[in-house]
Structure 1
Amino acid sequence: MQASDLRVALFSGNYNYTRDGPTQALNLLVGHLLAQGAAVRVYAPTTDTPAFAPTGDLVSVPSIAIPGERGEYRLARGLPRATRRDLAHFAPKVLHLSAPDFLGFSAVRWARRRNIPCVASLHTRFETYLRYYHVGVLAPVFVGIQRRFYNRVDRVMPPGESMAAVVRGWGVTTPTSIWSRGIDHDRFRPDRRDLGWRRDLGIGDDEIAIGFLGRLVKEKGLEVFAEVLAELTRRGVPHRVLVVGEGPARAWFEAQAAGAVFAGFQSGDDLGRAVASMDLFFNPSVTETFGNVTLEAMAAGVPVVAARATGAVDLVVPGETGFLVPPRDVAAYADALQRIITDPALRAQMGEAGHRKAAGYRWELVNQKVVDTYLEVMGTG
């Protein structure tokens, strides 16, 4: 069997109604599969105002908005009869599950009754989100749910070795295969840097811009980011802040990061320009499974200061492409940023090293690993 013989049913809690790292990775994977002649059908919640057009055939699954502060995301209610009929008619040979939600559990049960192999990819550390919404006491419950889910599939696909170690620490014994992430090397590159664009935003050529890139949600470490900025100001370290992205916590972050420049949502080559126009990238998030934004900054030749957490530890080489800092250590973050800000030679050296390291991350290579995994679990690899 080869890729063109595959029939893949992909299940996701979000495929295109909100743009984020997981949706971009899944859509690129489907595009890779379709280009190789595979049949793919995607099952996910939808909205009337999607963020972008889906790649491939998307079947809408009934869902409800998640209550609370994250109402932009939706929760599928499982596999209703109409969806099961559609799935049976499609007759998949392998199921790909991207989240341990009601939809994912229902899909596993459906597949197990029919002896259809299942693989599950990891995109979100749900158990780490809870403390940001004042329900951290439930983290062990979420770990238990994930352990039960990933132990029911045939292969788990974490994006890096650090996340694979976390999964094993949960008590998951299912074999793992790494599904890393790629980069658009034409979009994210050092020569996209645009001083004129920075000037239009009010950032001078000689000012050092600390960049934030991503959705403006609290679990991305916004609180720590703001505390570190305050510490740099207290120390008298000259800096500017360039925030690229939108999200429900923008107003809160604007109030905390006084003087920051908010460039809003950027996409395509505009996004590449924004990232390359940063002088260093600061990512204190501890909720990442991979850290797409960190890799994008590295590809653009921007040194990185990040939390020593899953995702970043697989990408950042301490002292070479940036610095890794114990999570929530405000003083240590400030030390690392200050060192890069005040040493232009180090800043250039780290940027060049990061660009070289990012060169090996290519979508066509990492997505082929997923194809190989499908064939292996089907017993034909």
Structure 2
Amino acid sequence: MTRILHILDHSLPLHSGYTFRTRAILKSQQVAGMAVCGVTGQRHKDSQQTECGHLAEQVEGLEFYRTRGKAEGPVGVREWREIAALTDSIVRVAGQWQPDVLHAHSPALCGQAGLRAAKQLGIPLVYEIRAFWEDAAVGNGTGSENSVKYRMTRMLENRVIGGADAVFTICDGLRDDLIARGFDGGKIGVSPNGVDLSMFGDPPARDDALAAKLGLSDRPVIGFIGSFYDYEGLDDLIAAMPALQQKQPGTQLLLVGGGPMDDALRAQAASSPAARDIYFTGRVPHSEVEQYYSLVDVLAYPRKRSRLTDLVTPLKPLEAMAQRRIVAASDVGGHRELITHGVTGILFPADDPVGAAEALSDLIDRSGDWDAMKARARTHVASGHDWAKNIHRYQSVYHHLLAKRGDGEMPSAA
């Protein structure tokens, strides 16, 4: 039985796209007959675990080891202290758990700790990039492009990529960017975002009681469920509503979630001519999210164009397609990798509220085609984004690394 120790920024019981992908990977590897556990760095925040001081935690049948403490110091020093603490945790857990392979997941802090630990332990390291975190910082407003921190983050990641035995990215956009930097494409595989289809049965019936509570009518509902970051482009979706209602009177917009843009979006909506048909729910418990999905006719993802959105494929559209929901998204690179326009969903111009309104209106006019589009989207997810199948991409590389361990030959991840 192959034993894989995953090195993570954070994990369950916290809920995020990052933790849901991790859960899907680890659960699928368990089903495939592998032994798995995870170790998290000091950025994993869970007050109960911090107060109790537990080293290990069982969540949903998965085991996670925690790195205690909090790194302090100026920028640069603090990060190296985080890497050192995580490295110590990995080595300590490995001494007890005896993994065959280390599998580190971005950010590069995890990758660098994994690289150090792999050298100490003499076992292979696989490094997986889910996004370039310097670009993510720009996208969520916590960093600026080409700043010192931006360049340092990229340099650290380049070091990890160069030292890892194999590399995975979640999409072609990230892989192509690495190849353009000069890295060997034969070393870099793609493990696309996916869903555990066993978790998605028939879509639930519309929750009429919840609709009445929110004040929704029976007119079409455009919806977004997720975090309110600037790069998500929700301001463009709100700006599109007056033009959309001119073509499709009574169309409603349901925004479920919260985040840094919450106040600004609420203020924008309040001053819109379509204000009475724009609804905010705030954050809702993960266990209740499915009820809100049941109210939405079209899930909209109006991401703005940037390096982050052009290079990275999001998870939410795949989850929506798995739930047999109609998906409409801006035509940034990350969406184009997931959605075929007119076949599995529609694409509309990024950063263009008028263009979005026209595309959404046309989609509503063609509601008779929706059932066929939903079926094609579900088939697309099942064929290319089901973790039960995609997990074998990792398994093949693990086996090659273990078979060629010590002979100096680099297996291909592509």
Per the alignment, in what secondary structure is the counterpart of residue 305 of structure 1? strand
Aligned position for 1:57: 63
For residues 190 and 296 of structure 2, the distance between their equivalents in structure 1, rounded to whole angstroms, comes to 30
TM-score (norm 2): 0.77
Aligned position for 2:408: none
Aligned position for 1:16: 12
Structure with greater helix percent: 2
For residues 149 and 226 of structure 1, the distance between their equivalents in structure 2, rounded to whole angstroms, comes to 41
Per the alignment, in what secondary structure is the counterpart of residue 8 of structure 1? strand
For residues 341 and 72 of structure 2, the distance between their equivalents in structure 1, rounded to whole angstroms, comes to 38
Aligned position for 2:92: 85
Aligned position for 2:214: 201
Per the alignment, in what secondary structure is the counterpart of residue 77 of structure 1? helix
Q: Deviations over 1:204-238 (max 9, x none)?
A: 12x11111121233343333333334553577754
For residues 232 and 63 of structure 1, the distance between their equivalents in structure 2, rounded to whole angstroms, comes to 51
When Rg is computed on C-alpha atoms for both structures, the one with the higher figure is 2
What aligned pairs does 1:253-272 form with structure 2 within 5 A after superposition?
253-258=265-270, 259=275, 260-263=278-281, 264-268=283-287, 270-272=288-290
Runs of 4+ in 1 over 6 A off after TM superposition: none
Is contact 2:140-2:229 (8 Å) kept?
no
State the shift of 1:141 in Å.
5.2
Closer, same or farther: CA 350–66 of 1 in aligned 2, 3 Å: farther
State the shift of 1:56 in Å.
2.6
Is contact 1:33-1:40 (8 Å) kept?
no
Closer, same or farther: CA 131–26 of 1 in aligned 2, 3 Å: closer
Structure 1 alignment gaps of length 5 or more: 68-73
Q: Deviations over 1:189-218 (max 9, x none)?
A: 56413151323322112x111111212333
For residues 216 and 75 of structure 1, the distance between their equivalents in structure 2, rounded to whole angstroms, comes to 31
Is contact 1:11-1:43 (8 Å) kept?
yes
Is contact 2:173-2:334 (8 Å) kept?
yes
Aligned position for 2:365: 342
For residues 47 and 182 of structure 1, the distance between their equivalents in structure 2, rounded to whole angstroms, comes to 25
Closer, same or farther: CA 184–278 of 1 in aligned 2, 3 Å: farther
Query: Percent identity of the aligned residues?
Result: 20
Count of residues paired in the alignment: 369
Q: Deviations over 1:226-281 (max 9, x none)?
A: 3334553577754211223343443333223344323432434x433422431111
Aligned position for 1:162: 173
Per the alignment, in what secondary structure is the counterpart of residue 297 of structure 1? helix
What aligned pairs does 1:95-244 form with structure 2 within 5 A after superposition?
95-129=102-136, 130-133=138-141, 135-138=144-147, 142-173=153-184, 175-185=187-197, 187-188=199-200, 191-196=203-208, 197-205=210-218, 207-229=219-241, 231-232=243-244, 238-244=250-256
What aligned pairs does 1:238-317 form with structure 2 within 5 A after superposition?
238-258=250-270, 259=275, 260-263=278-281, 264-268=283-287, 270-285=288-303, 287=308, 289-317=312-340
AA partner of residue 301 (structure 2): N
State the shift of 1:163 in Å.
3.3
AA partner of residue 62 (structure 2): G
Closer, same or farther: CA 291–100 of 1 in aligned 2, 3 Å: closer
Is contact 1:63-1:77 (8 Å) kept?
no
Is contact 2:223-2:255 (8 Å) kept?
yes
Q: Deviations over 1:279-332 (max 9, x none)?
A: 111112354633221012112222222133343222211121222234323332
For residues 280 and 371 of structure 1, the distance between their equivalents in structure 2, rounded to whole angstroms, comes to 36
Q: Which moved more, 1:109-118 or 1:82-91?
A: 82-91
For residues 237 and 126 of structure 1, the distance between their equivalents in structure 2, rounded to whole angstroms, comes to 41
Is contact 2:8-2:38 (8 Å) kept?
no
TM-score (norm 1): 0.82
For residues 34 and 322 of structure 2, the distance between their equivalents in structure 1, rounded to whole angstroms, comes to 30
Structure 2 alignment gaps of length 5 or more: 50-57, 74-78, 405-410
Q: Which moved more, 1:312-321 or 1:326-335?
A: 326-335
State the shift of 1:188 in Å.
3.9
State the shift of 1:149 in Å.
2.5
Q: Deviations over 1:68-96 (max 9, x none)?
A: xxxxxx99811337523333443332111
AA partner of residue 323 (structure 2): A
